[in-house]
């Protein structure tokens, strides 16, 4: 990118299916939502070390400068597991979308927010453990994670936004939070293997 670029708009490189690497100059101050979604061959995002708003890890994962928000895990990385750094408090919207190689992600206790579409279409996921400080699960957060079989919500979770687990056709076991108040539209739509679910008295 030229050094004059300050903004990468929402969905700017969406579905650039041959894009393998991208280098973000120090001039960029804003990266819009879903900027790199559907980049099926993307393996690395490199940020100029002098950029004041963004940074990358050694393995090419995009973060904000302080590594408190994980913005984008490149979809074509081949590792089957990933451990989110303990500095992270938020998994950003679409952060792991279409990461089909991943079977598991370890989320640290520091994380309080799982954003919209964060793990959407992670079709090899089998199990996920939600940290004890997470209050809400974003819209479509685990949409069509078709291999996911089990999910346990800690008692900190108060709401599950719409379609959070839509199309998780292997999901058989759900343990709800005792403080859950809201289950969104189509949250468990087309979860065809789910045979039993207990809704706590806290749900309004």
Q: What is the mean pLDDT of residues 72-82?
A: 95
Q: What is the pLDDT of residues 97-107, one digit of tens each?
A: 999 999 999 99
- Whole-number Å distance between alpha carbons of 146 and 51: 37
Average pLDDT in the 30-41 region? 94
CA–CA dist 150, 121 (Å, integer): 16
Residue 127 has what pLDDT? 81
Say what the pLDDT of residue 157 is: 95
Q: What is the mean pLDDT of the chain?
A: 94
Residues in CB range of 38: below 8 A, 6 or more apart: 14, 15, 16, 17, 75, 97, 98
Q: Closest Cα partner for 163 from 184, 149, 148?
A: 184
Q: Is the pLDDT of residue 165 over 90?
A: yes
Report the share of the chain in percent with pLDDT over 70: 100
Q: Is 199 exposed, middle or buried (0-12, 13-18, 19+ CB in 10 A)?
A: exposed
Look at residue 175 in the predicted model and tell me its pLDDT. 87
Query: How many Å apart are CA 59 and CA 98, to the nearest integer?
Result: 18
Q: Indicate yes or no: pTM above 0.75.
A: yes
41 pLDDT tier (thresholds 50, 70, 90): very high
**Predicted pLDDT at 173:** 85
pLDDT interval class at 196 (50, 70, 90): confident
Segment 105-153, tens digit of pLDDT:
999 999 999 999 999 999 998 888 899 999 989 999 999 999 999 888 9
- Rounded Cα distance between 79 and 178, Å, is 35
Burial of 68 (0-12, 13-18, 19+ CB in 10 A): middle
Indicate the DSSP class of residue 108: P
């Amino acid at each position: 990118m030229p050094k004059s670029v300050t903004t990468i708009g929402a969905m700017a490189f969406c579905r650039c299916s041959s894009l393998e690497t991208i280098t973000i100059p120090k001039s960029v101050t804003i990266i819009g939502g879903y900027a790199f979604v559907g980049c099926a061959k993307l393996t690395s995002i490199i940020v100029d070390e002098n950029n004041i708003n963004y940074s990358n890890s050694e393995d090419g994962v995009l973060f904000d400068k302080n590594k408190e928000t994980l913005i984008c895990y490149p979809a074509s990385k081949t590792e089957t597991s990933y451990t989110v750094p303990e500095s992270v408090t938020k998994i950003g919207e679409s952060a792991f979308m279409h990461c089909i190689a991943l079977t598991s992600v370890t989320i640290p206790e520091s994380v309080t927010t799982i954003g919209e579409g964060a793990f959407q279409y992670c079709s090899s996921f089998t199990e996920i453990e939600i940290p004890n400080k997470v209050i809400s699960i974003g819209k479509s957060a685990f949409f069509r994670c078709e291999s996911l079989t089990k999910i346990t919500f800690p008692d900190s979770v108060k709401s599950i936004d719409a379609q959070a687990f839509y199309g998780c056709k292997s999901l058989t076991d759900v343990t709800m939070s005792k403080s859950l108040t809201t289950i969104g539209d189509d949250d468990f739509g087309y979860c065809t293997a789910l045979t039993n679910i207990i809704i706590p008295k806290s749900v309004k």
